[in-house]
Amino acid sequence: MNTADLGLPVDVPSTALFTDQYELTMLQAALKAGTAHRHSVFEVFTRRLPSGRRYGVVAGTGRVLDAVENFRFDADVLRFLRERGIVDEPTLEWLAGYRFTGDIWGYPEGEVYFPGSPVMRVEGSFAECVLLETVILSILNHDSAIAAAASRMTAAAGDRPLIEMGARRTHELAAVAASRAAYIGGFASTSDLAAGFRYNIPTVGTSAHAFTLLHDRERDAFQAQVDSLGRGTTLLVDTYDVAEAVRAAVEVAGPELGAVRIDSGDLLLVAHRVRQQLDELGAHDTRIIVTSDLDEYAIASLAAAPVDAYGVGTQLVTGSGHPTCSMVYKLVARAASERPSAPVVPVAKRSTGGKTSLGGRKWAARRLDEDGVAEAEVVGTADVPPALAGRQLLVELVKGGEVVGREPLDVVRERHAAARAGLPMSATQLSRGEPVIPTEYVHLASGS
């Protein structure tokens, strides 16, 4: 099923206006010049990883497929473009029948990537491919940033589960995408019901400080929650005095109390004290969940604490300081003319200042060492070396305009865990460093 069928309402009737105006004005000029239908190859890549990051995580691919399927210029969209005078009538007529009929290849969602990795390749006429630039980049840049932060956090947490709870710290629709990306990165659940509804992510949640403050006594709030949700619920114990709250919680729920949540204070110290108190009260199986503006560094600092799970919000949905991946969408090859038999030639930007690109339709493969650990990302344009033929990374996502690469989210999540495990051990170190493996270029054209 197309997940868009279950999606949340948005303020526009299609994804066609999730774009920048210059994509439409380029289309108009190309149609007039007779170059719009030249076969073209665009690639998505990043020139560098965010400072200090050792690897990136591909996320948002499934949402890109939904967006491409729903990229339609319906009557309301065309009326808007006409009234604003954004493009001329011949261009509007062309847009009215727009359907992407090309091919899309890309790294499978959940895979890791490095500088220069051709994360996605979009191929078709210039006209149909150029219009997809902004929507593809907006999805991949956002979701991959969140997934990368989530991956670092889950690596720091080890076997302890993480709960995504950042919906109140970002745009309401971005929150749903963030929950999806966090799940890919290894988070176990989300507090956001919209994400649970749309993507079948496990949801959790019990109560906030407001519920405790509503009642005359903290004990009354605990009793009400246990009466409603059962002894296995999670009680929030830091509204007033933590030690008194833990005692009341166990007295109300008994040793079968599911968990207590700590949301403030010196989490390392408080967690040790709460664990000792719970054990003394006979609640040996009651878990401790900590929240309070955690990031991967805070999670790592709690590795020795008796913590059973973490709740993460703000730092996750903002990419833990890196809310974008700086991915770009560049034309790397195009036909010499509009003739179907015209040769496809590499093209590339040559200007100085660090924004150059490498021409040609590219393949990518990951070379492994004798122990099966990744040692290089190899990117090229000529024939794939036989030794790398079985290690190619790009997979077919759209063929002739039809989506062929949609996957269940759990498959994507499992792929990421395997991909991260296949990197050198230093990949999950939180200290700053270069990408954990180098990108090697072979047989690349210089462009024209």
Q: H or E segment at 162? A: strand 162-164
Q: What is the pLDDT of residue 13?
A: 55
End-to-end alpha carbon distance in the chain? 43
Report residue 5's pLDDT band, with 50, 70 and 90 as the boundaries.
very low
Q: H or E segment at 26? A: helix 21-33
pLDDT digits (tens, 9 = 90+) for 210-242: 999 999 999 999 999 999 999 999 999 999 999
Residue that has been written with the tokens 């939180």 in this structure: 430
Q: What is the pLDDT of residue 269?
A: 97
The packing angle between helices 61-69 and 172-184, to 10°, is 130
Domains and CATH numbers, the chain: 3-131+326-442 (3.20.140.10), 147-321 (3.20.20.70)
Nearest to 432 by CA among 322, 343, 329, 287: 322
CB 373 within 8 A of CB 422: yes
Neighbours of 225 (CB within 10 A): 22
Q: What percent of the chain has pLDDT over 70?
A: 95
Of 95-109, 328-342, 434-448, which gets the smallest average pLDDT? 434-448
Nearest to 368 by CA among 377, 355, 359: 377
Q: Which residues contact 413 (CB under 8 A, 6 or more apart)?
A: 110, 183, 184, 186
